[in-house]
């Protein structure tokens, strides 16, 4: 059984294939956290908690003169403000007009088959015939009718545990929430490092490994999105943990808005981590019998290194988070016209690109920004989702029909969360935009944010999507969002705090996404927020792929893809071959290298195909044929990082291996050149040791390629690259 309650020891033990998680109800009814680590038995691990008289550690009143018990150093399952614990908290709340303080005690439990769901929020789900179990533990405040239900989803075979909390007020007085984290977790020792993924627009998810020191290490976003600057995924690990060895715990928050992850090293060198909605400006009022549901967090622990953690998280997200039918379908290899034309295009120009796309063997043409309203630059038109037929020279249906006749599918870009002041929508409904009364608005990309906390805005978005998708045979939409959310104010609910409006905005966004996914299940949706500004597990519940970054330079994408791979499936990484010199940094890289880098994810092109040379057209055809031939490997293979672009300056290498070891690829991009170079060697991973593989006409055992490795070809030019695919042979030739 994945969840076991020992009524004598009063312990809850959660078992996955490789890990064990345990809690204990102590004599005072406090729910203590006793163990999370490598798989072990159901012993009561509370013996690891050592009572002692530590100075300046407060005691609950029922302990009288016993100074050996204090919640200031005891590990707890859901820490709260006001019970003598001075470390970071999961929950801070109080009844209206009273000092915020809680003292939660155990009030019951329930174990059930299947996976819980969260109303209006993304959550992991059980696959068909997959054994998943749910544990609910009820905690009640010692003094008031405040209840917290802790939810645990145990995916035994997938090696993940999900967590969420529901806070309920049963008092006649309103309860004011000031902080409501999805979880807290205490590690007594062994977690010395914190890995996070910071960045900026066009430079997202840069790998950052920090040694944890006394005090609080925090990452987060207060931008209304998960953001380019930080990402709601982090790893706690040992100081000696590597790709292949050592303990590590991955933590991902299923939320697309402002978030916070904190790790505190306390006075006795234990580590507490909390994660959830960012508490800056957050305030949520619960009236009698109302509930607040936190977003879900997912945890995974392994003692087999960062690579094993990556593959566990990637597999679980692919199979138990992404719902789109496209996760199991071959994604179209597409061309997007944005870097080819920007706003300067006509229907005739688009058809020329489509003709070349058909010639090369692509599957889809995507029309990006500028097709609607009065939109010839980024200063007008957002919100007016009607086709500019004068610009296209025809109706959208006529354009799409001509593209379809060439054998191509058609996709289109939208940014429905935003509005331009120079638009019919804003002139008709200025109150739908979030601005602070009496002040000039703060703009981003010269646009304002629509108030998705309002019912009429949500319904307008749904109707706009329905109207667009009814115009023509549209197979794909790229959903963009091009500014951080500031000046948060809802004219429909001026009494709400900014934090409440921010969260209601995300709930509104999820409602619209749920509507589209349910109404148009065959539609391929690609998420985007200026590239990777909303690349999070919450969005993956609704979309199977996300535009990884607006930076299409192959060399900078090496670092972006590397960081992204730790927490997200590579099949979700939308990556395109673009023109050189690159539009973001001016770098020139070989066409082959651009293709190899883009094949790490959902593959495509973002350039004017009509301007390619005959040699580039030949290479593009070969790239498309190669990608299609090995698509199953890139889509479903296990991903291995073989060298880090942050540590290895000569090359970056990665590999895909089919789970059964039958097929594998190895890709290398050279990032530095040397005179009189030494031979470069790389070791494969994930192969079957006693299987035989053929590489460059020679046979090798999997053991030889993994232990001895292979010698890489000498680079021929700056930013050269190499890719090889090997398959398991039936038997070895002698």
- Among residues 264, 303, 486, 536, the one annotated as catalytic is 536
Residue 164 domain-assigned (yes or no): yes
The alpha carbons of the chain give a radius of gyration, in whole angstroms, of: 27
Q: Assess if residue 57 is contained within a domain.
A: no
Q: What is the pLDDT of residue 255?
A: 98
The predicted-structure confidence for 26-63, as pLDDT tens digits, reads as follows: 999 999 999 999 999 999 999 999 999 999 998 887 87
- Is the domain of 656 the same as that of 584? no
The angle that helices 455-471 and 498-519 make with each other, rounded to 10 degrees, is 30
CB-CB neighbours of 521 under 10 Å: 11
**What number is the average pLDDT over the span 392-410?**
98
Can you give the CATH number for the domain in which 671 is found?
Answer: 2.60.40.1180
Residue 733 falls inside a structural domain = no
Strand pairing partners for 137? 109, 150
Residues 381 and 421 in one domain: yes
- Is there a contact between 553 and 587 (Cβ–Cβ < 8 Å)? yes
Q: What average pLDDT does this structure show over 549-572?
A: 98
- What's the rounded mean pLDDT across residues 411-426? 98
Instruction: Tell which residue, 656, 664, 635, has the closest CA to residue 329.
Output: 635
Model confidence pLDDT, tens digit, residues 340-374: 999 999 999 999 999 999 999 999 999 999 999 99
Mean pLDDT of 620-633: 98
Phi, psi of 696 (to 5 degrees): 55, 40
In a domain? residue 250: yes
CA distance 71 to 30: 9
Q: What is the pLDDT of residues 423-477, one digit of tens each?
A: 999 999 999 999 999 999 999 999 999 999 999 999 999 999 999 999 999 999 9
**Per-residue pLDDT at 731 exceeds 70:** no
Strand pairing report for 160-169 and 203-211? unpaired
341: number of Cβ within 10 Å: 17
Q: What's the whole-number mean pLDDT along residues 151-167? A: 98
Same domain? For 423 and 438 the reply is yes
Query: Are 576 and 712 in the same domain?
Result: no
- Asked if the model's pLDDT at residue 326 lies above 70, the reply is yes
pLDDT band at 498 (very low <50, low <70, confident <90, very high): confident
328 Cβ contact partners less than 8 Å away, ≥ 6 residues apart: none
**pLDDT tens-digit profile of 380-391?**
999 999 999 999
The stretch 89-99 carries a mean pLDDT of 96
Mean per-residue pLDDT for 578-606?
Answer: 97
Flag whether 62 is in a domain: no
| Beta strands 215-221; 248-253: pairing state | unpaired
- Which has the minimum average pLDDT: 341-350, 629-638, 725-734? 725-734
Confidence of residue 189 (pLDDT cuts 50, 70, 90): confident
Beta bridge partners of 220: 260
- In a domain, residue 198? The reply is yes
Q: Assess whether 333 and 279 both reside in one domain.
A: no
Q: What's the total number of domains in the chain?
A: 3
pLDDT for the residue 281: 86
Mean local confidence (pLDDT), 320-349: 97
- Do 539 and 447 lie in one domain? The reply is yes
Q: What is the CATH number of the domain that holds 575?
A: 3.20.20.70
Inter-helix orientation angle 591-598/614-629, to 10°? 20
Task: Indicate the SS3 state at residue 441.
Answer: coil
Residue by residue, DSSP assigns 22-50 as EEEE-TTS-EEEEEEEE------GGGGS-
Residues in the chain, total? 734
Average pLDDT, the chain: 96
Q: What is residue 157's predicted lDDT score, i.e. its pLDDT?
A: 96
Q: Give yes or no for residue 733 having a pLDDT over 60.
A: no
Q: What pLDDT does 66 receive? A: 84
Residues 228 and 341 in one domain: no
> Is the pLDDT reported for residue 496 higher than 90?
no
Q: What is the distance between the alpha carbons of residues 261 and 212, in angstroms, rounded to a whole number?
A: 14
DSSP states along 285-313: EE-TT-EEEPPPEEEEEESBHHHHHHHHH
Average pLDDT over residues 8-36: 97
The whole-angstrom separation of Cα 572 and Cα 537 is 11
Q: Please indicate, yes or no, if residue 70 is contained in any of the structural domains.
A: no
> What are residue 670's DSSP bridge partners?
651
Categorize the per-residue pLDDT at 734 as very low, low, confident or very high, splitting at 50, 70 and 90. low
Question: How many angstroms separate the CA atoms of 612 and 618, rounded?
Answer: 10
% of the chain beyond a pLDDT of 90: 96
Does residue 616 have an active-site annotation?
Answer: yes
pLDDT tens readout for residues 203-233: 999 999 999 999 999 999 999 999 999 999 9
Is the domain of 597 the same as that of 497? yes
Decide if pLDDT at 65 tops 80: no
Q: Give, for 385, the enclosing helix (H) or strand (E).
A: none
Q: Are residues 451 and 411 in the same domain?
A: yes
pLDDT value at 665 more than 90: yes
Domain CATH for 18: 2.70.98.60
Same domain for 602 and 514?
Answer: yes
In a domain, 81, yes or no: yes
pLDDT at 105: 97
Domain final residue, candidates 597, 632, 667: 632
pLDDT value at position 730? Answer: 75
**Can you tell me the distance from the alpha carbon of 25 to that of 137, in angstroms, rounded to the nearest whole number?**
11
Instruction: Please state, in angstroms and rounded to a whole number, the distance separating the CA atoms of residues 491 and 503.
Output: 16
pLDDT per residue over 605-614, tens digit each? Answer: 999 999 999 9
Structural domain boundaries enclosing 258: 9-37+75-320
Q: Mark whether 440 and 368 lie in a shared domain.
A: yes
Span 240-299, pLDDT tens digits:
999 999 999 999 999 999 999 999 999 999 999 999 999 998 999 999 999 999 999 999
| Shared-domain flag, residues 269 and 164 | yes
Domain finish residue from 320, 340, 357: 320
Marked catalytic residue, from 42, 398, 401, 616: 616
Which whole number is the average pLDDT over 399-406? 98
Final residue of a structural domain among 272, 303, 320: 320
Q: How confident is the model at residue 335 (pLDDT cuts 50, 70, 90)?
A: very high
């Amino acid at each position: 059984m994945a969840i076991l309650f020992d009524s004598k020891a009063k312990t809850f033990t959660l078992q996955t294939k490789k890990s064990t998680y345990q809690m204990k109800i102590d004599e005072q009814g406090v729910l203590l956290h006793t163990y999370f680590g490598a798989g072990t038995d159901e012993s009561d691990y509370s013996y690891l908690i050592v009572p002692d008289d530590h100075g300046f550690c407060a005691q609950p009143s029922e302990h009288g003169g016993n100074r050996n018990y204090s919640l200031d150093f005891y590990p707890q399952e859901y820490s709260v403000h006001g019970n003598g614990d001075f470390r970071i908290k999961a929950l801070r709340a109080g009844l209206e007009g009273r000092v915020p303080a809680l003292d939660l005690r155990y009030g019951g439990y329930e174990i059930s088959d299947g996976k819980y769901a969260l109303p209006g929020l993304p959550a992991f789900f059980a696959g068909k015939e997959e054994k998943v179990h749910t544990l609910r533990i009820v905690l009640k405040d010692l003094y008031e009718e405040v209840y917290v239900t802790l939810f645990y989803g145990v995916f035994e075979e997938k090696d993940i545990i999900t967590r969420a909390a529901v806070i309920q007020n049963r008092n006649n007085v309103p309860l004011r929430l000031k902080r409501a984290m999805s979880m807290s977790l205490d590690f007594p020792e062994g977690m010395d490092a914190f890995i996070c993924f910071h960045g900026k627009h066009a430079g997202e998810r840069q790998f950052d490994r920090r040694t944890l020191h006394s005090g609080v290490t925090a990452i987060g976003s207060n931008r209304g999105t998960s953001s380019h600057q930080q990402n709601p995924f982090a790893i706690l690990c040992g100081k000696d943990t590597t790709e292949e060895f050592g303990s590590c715990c991955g933590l991902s928050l299923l939320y697309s808005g402002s978030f916070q992850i904190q790790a505190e090293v306390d006075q006795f060198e234990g580590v507490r981590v909390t994660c959830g909605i960012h508490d800056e400006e957050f305030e949520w009022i619960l009236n009698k019998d109302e509930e607040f549901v936190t977003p879900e967090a997912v945890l995974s622990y392994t003692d087999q290194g960062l690579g094993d953690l990556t593959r566990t998280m990637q597999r679980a997200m692919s199979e138990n988070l992404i719902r789109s039918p496209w996760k199991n379908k071959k994604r179209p290899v597409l061309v997007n016209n944005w870097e080819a034309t920007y706003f300067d295009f006509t229907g005739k120009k688009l058809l020329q690109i489509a003709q070349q796309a058909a010639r090369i063997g692509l599957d889809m043409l995507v029309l990006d920004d500028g097709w609607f309203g009065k939109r010839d630059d980024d200063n007008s038109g957002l919100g007016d989702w009607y086709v500019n037929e004068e610009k296209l020279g025809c109706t959208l249906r006529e354009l799409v029909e001509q593209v379809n006749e060439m054998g191509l599918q058609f996709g289109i870009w939208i940014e429905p969360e935003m509005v331009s002041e120079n638009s019919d929508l804003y002139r008709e409904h200025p109150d739908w935009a979030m601005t602070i009364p009496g002040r000039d608005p703060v703009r981003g990309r010269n646009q304002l944010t629509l108030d998705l906390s309002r019912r009429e805005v949500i319904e307008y978005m749904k109707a706009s999507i329905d109207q667009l998708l009814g115009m023509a045979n549209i197979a794909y939409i790229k959903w963009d969002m091009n500014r951080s959310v500031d000046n948060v104010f809802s004219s429909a609910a001026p009494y709400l705090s900014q934090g409440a409006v921010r969260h209601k905005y995300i709930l509104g966004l999820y409602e619209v996404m749920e509507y589209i996914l349910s109404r148009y299940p065959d539609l391929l949706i690609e998420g985007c927020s200026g590239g990777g500004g909303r690349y999070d597990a919450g969005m993956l519940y609704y979309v199977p792929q996300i535009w990884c970054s607006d930076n299409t330079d192959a060399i900078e994408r090496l670092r972006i893809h590397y960081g992204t791979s730790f927490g997200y499936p590579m099949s979700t990484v939308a990556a395109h071959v673009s023109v050189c010199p690159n539009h973001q940094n001016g770098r020139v890289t070989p066409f082959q290298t651009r293709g190899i880098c883009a094949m790490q994810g959902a593959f495509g092109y973002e350039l004017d195909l009509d301007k390619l040379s005959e040699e580039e057209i030949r290479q593009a055809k070969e790239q498309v044929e190669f990608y299609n031939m090995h698509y199953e490997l890139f889509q479903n293979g296990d991903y291995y990082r073989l060298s880090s672009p942050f540590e290895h300056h000569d090359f970056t290498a990665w590999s895909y291996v089919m789970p059964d070891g039958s097929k594998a690829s190895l890709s290398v991009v050279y990032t530095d050149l040397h005179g009189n170079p030494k031979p470069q060697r790389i070791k494969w991973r994930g192969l079957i040791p006693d299987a035989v593989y053929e590489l460059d006409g020679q046979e090798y055992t999997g053991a030889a390629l993994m232990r001895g490795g292979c010698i890489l070809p000498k680079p021929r030019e700056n930013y050269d690259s190499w890719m090889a695919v090997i398959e398991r042979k039936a038997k070895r030739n002698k």
